[in-house]
Every structure is written in C-alpha cells, then in structure tokens.
Amino acid sequence: MKDCVFCSSPDIKAHTIFRNDLAWAFPTNIPITPGHTLICPVRHVEKIADLTLQEQTALFELAEKIKTALKTIYGKQGFNHAWNEGEIAGQAVPHLHLHIVPRKEGDTGITEYEPRKFLYRPGSRETTPENELQVVAEQIRNALKL
C-alpha cells in the first residue's frame, strides 16, 4: 500500500534485518530499549485476524529468531511482546506490527507508554473476587457460542 510508511518508506526498507515472502523485521526508530525490533507481515494488513495461518506462523517464527539474536548481542534476559490494534489502542501505523522489546536487569522501563498504565485497571490492583471472575468467564463462554 503506497500510503503506508512501512510499505513505502525507503528508510525503513534500508534497515531491514530479515525479510522472506511473508514476514520481515526492522529496528524501530523510537526504541524503548536497544534492539527494539518490529516484525510485520509483508502483505499490508491492519489486524492480526487478517493474517493467514502461514503469515501468523512466519511472524512468530521470525520473532523467535530475532529474540535469539538479541539475547546474544545485548545479553537480554526477557522480552515484552506487543501489538496494538486500532488507533484507540495506540496503533499509530495501520500496518500490523509486533514489537519485540528486549529487557534486562536495570532497564528503566517504558516511559510515557508504560503498559501497567494503559493495560491494567488504574488504582487498586486487588484480586478480583471469584464470583466476578465466574461471571466474566460465563459471559465470554456464552458469546463464543454465537
């Protein structure tokens, strides 16, 4: 897609780490930690549900290869994996991309976009009562039967 920065930017293409017929990886220009890499399907899609099974497999296999390299190069001990779907969820580029954020002891964290601030409920982190969990589980089970 010519209007998509991931599809059309020569700068991004010049930073390609690896590319095959279905997936490709490149370092983000606004890394959270050194080695922060984006993995995208080659085909322009916005949501993970739009991927074929082969594209999903290629995306996640490439993520594992990138993580192995990041462990070797940067001595990383863990990873944050994230993708955003929809502008309201923080998707700034409407081309699906998986963030691989390498982490190690002493990292300063994610500033301005800390996942505990936008994924978890604010305030109390008390355990949800069992009866509420049962209601949520039942609602989702019922919706799945549609």
Parent domain of 77? 5-121
Domain contains 76: yes
CA–CA dist 2, 115 (Å, integer): 31
pLDDT for residue 59 is more than 60: yes
Domain contains 130: no
pLDDT for residue 115 is more than 60: no
CA–CA dist 52, 42 (Å, integer): 12
Percent of the chain at pLDDT > 90 equals 46
Domain contains 100: yes
Catalytically active residues are: 97
Domain contains 24: yes
- Considering only CA atoms, which of 129, 134, 62 is closest in space to residue 54? 62
Domain contains 133: no
Give the CATH number for residue 36.
3.30.428.10
3-23, pLDDT tens digit by residue? Answer: 899 999 998 999 999 999 999
Domain contains 146: no
When the pLDDT of each residue in the chain is averaged and rounded to a whole number, the result is 84
The pTM (predicted TM-score) of the whole model is 0.79
| pLDDT, greater one: 136 or 124 | 136
Domain contains 57: yes
Q: Provide the number of structural domains found in the chain.
A: 1
Domain contains 136: no
Six token digits for residue 89 = 């969820």
